[in-house]
Structure 1
Amino acid sequence: MNIIRTKTPSETQKNNLLHLQEACRKHDHISLTFPLEEDCTFYLLYDEDNLLSALCAFFNENGEYETCAYTLPSNRQNGYFTMLLDELLKETADNDLVFPVDETCEDTVHTLNALGADFWYQEHLMELSASGFIETGLAKSNPLWDSPALSMAYNPNEEHSPWTFLMDGSPIGSCYLDFRGETAYFYGFVIAENLRNQGLGSACLFLLLKTCFSLSGHKRLKKLFLQVSGENVPAIALYKKAGFQITESLSYYLY
């Protein structure tokens, strides 16, 4: 057995990681992937040329190491994950490790419970298609949606675009869109605290969606994605009302 630590996997190692990832995803029926786009440290456990297990971690903005690991299904319960975790722990000092987990993967949940990791919170991935939004017909139930005093300032030509909601020309809220071809990731939605519970959140969300699905040219969207904490019940209810559907739920464990 040989453990390789690297921040810059070779092309062969990347291919090995993808093969390992797909073998586990197929076996466990999950969609999680290695965060190859992040500045990760990888720990690769090889038996000669065969990658049996891999763990990667990156230091996030909250001061935690977000961690992802896979072991070939036929090589589980051999202590390989523990070997790689021990290598990571030599470098993390007192920082917490965060494990995103699909609860349907029993092997992963069992391993984290045996490790003594604590359940932290759940997060949902939601999506909305242009047709799904049109079919909701929500525009009839909130008079603020047609208010001429409500408007937005944005630049859809920016890949990471900030959008500002205005009432009579004054900012009342904001959000961000990360454009990815015909889809976009929606995040950072907030209404000024002193203006909440007045229907403005619904009105601003509707205005945003109506605008997104009617953009011209290559910026016209077919689908919008967002992530929301399972603890944020009002936000989930709002997004469902707008037509968003939960497509995946992840649990986060802290170690």
Structure 2
Amino acid sequence: MRRQFGAKMTIRAYVSLRQKAIAEVLDLEGICIDHDSLRGSVFLDSSLNINQQIKSFFLLYKNGKLISMLSMFIPTKNEAEITAYTLPKFRGKGYFKSLLGKAVEELRAFDIPELLFVCESPSISGKRVIDALNADYDHTEYFMRFDRASYTRLNRYRLILLKAVQEDLEKAIAANMKVFDDSREESKSLIENCFLSDTREQYLAVLDDEIIGIASVNLEEEDVTIFGFGIVPEYRSKGYGKELLHLIVDDLLQRGRSDITIDVNNENANAIELYQKTGFHIEATYEYYRKKSG
């Protein structure tokens, strides 16, 4: 899908990106990160979007060169997390507004009601865009990175770490619903998309033949990302979260993967303390701002 700006400006919309487009986006991102002294990175995996038909990447080209991009992460039917970059010398010219307009049209077509803009805290230009949008502050998340030198393996474990397969689908769905209070539809979409991915793995935490926890990892890039991590409510505050995180880290280290990251809400003091004691430190801070798509 393309929208023409005269003869030299084009917007291209994609459900997923091929390698050439990914390379272009990463080049653009690198320039913006260096210019704005940022630390984060754009999320380019659409495999966890609740509907695999939604176009979630919008790229704007001038004379064949990528100058602005917008991506959407849509894990539930309630909201789309939006990240965008524009080359510094092309800012303030309405390019992001054009991309956002196309993205909102797509979201309305699929009845996604809200936008959640992601802005790294030090981004001055990002904050200006948020102010212009009149979006409301929602929450802040920390992006945390593992430091192997700060990690100490546990001496014993009560839990067994199970790598889930397709036959475990219903068990994984039930666990996800208990841990995150998600609907069955949302949980089923999340777990099924994980099973379909070549780079994602689904873990279950088992205690005496009962599943009491869940977590996933994404091994697509050099960094391994832990997400969807949690313990069912009745087993919390008993040290099982600590065991589950250590089991996952142990497994990744044994496979030679030590570049491990995890996200956490800044108000979740217990999780932050757990991650820090396991060897994670805060690398970047993201602020989220909410606005209706209609």
**Maintained 8 Å contact 1:175/1:189:** yes
Q: Deviations over 1:54-96 (max 9, x none)?
A: 3344544344233222222122223332233233333332622
Judging changes above 3 Å, is the alpha-carbon distance between structure 1 residues 132 and 91 closer, same or farther for their aligned structure 2 residues? Answer: same
**Maintained 8 Å contact 1:45/1:80:** no
Partner of 2:139: 121
**Maintained 8 Å contact 1:182/1:220:** no
Distance 1:130 1:102 in 2: 25
1:190 pairs, out of 230, 253, 268, with 230
Distance 1:108 1:245 in 2: 24
Partner of 1:5: 12
Unpaired runs of 5+ in structure 1? 140-144
Distance 2:240 2:44 in 1: 38
**Maintained 8 Å contact 1:130/1:221:** no
Q: Which amino acid aligns with 2:226?
A: F
Higher CA-based Rg: 1
Displacement of 1:127 after TM fit?
A: 2.0
- Paired residue secondary structure (2:106): helix
Q: 1:240 aligned to 2:255?
A: no
Distance 1:252 1:130 in 2: 29
Distance 2:25 2:252 in 1: 36
The count of corresponding residues between Structure 1 and Structure 2 is: 240
Displacement of 1:104 after TM fit?
A: 0.5
Instruction: Please report the TM-score for the alignment, with normalisation by the length of structure 2.
Output: 0.67
Distance 2:123 2:215 in 1: 33
Q: Which amino acid aligns with 2:35?
A: H
Displacement of 1:18 after TM fit?
A: 4.1
Instruction: Please report the TM-score for the alignment, with normalisation by the length of structure 1.
Output: 0.75
**Maintained 8 Å contact 2:147/2:281:** no
Percent identical pairs in the alignment equals 26
Partner of 1:76: 91
1:61 pairs, out of 61, 73, 76, with 76
After TM superposition, the structure 1 stretch with the greater mean CA deviation from structure 2, 61-70 or 228-237, is 61-70
Q: Deviations over 1:99-158 (max 9, x none)?
A: 211110101111111210111111112122333203xx8x5xxxxx636xx131434999
**Maintained 8 Å contact 2:57/2:69:** no
Distance 1:208 1:187 in 2: 11
Unpaired runs of 5+ in structure 2? 47-54, 166-197
Displacement of 1:3 after TM fit?
A: 3.7
Partner of 2:34: 26
- Paired residue secondary structure (1:85): helix
Report the RMSD for the aligned CA atoms in angstroms. Answer: 3.4
Distance 1:118 1:80 in 2: 22
Distance 2:33 2:150 in 1: 28
**Maintained 8 Å contact 2:58/2:99:** no
After TM superposition, the structure 1 stretch with the greater mean CA deviation from structure 2, 61-70 or 150-159, is 150-159
Partner of 2:103: 88
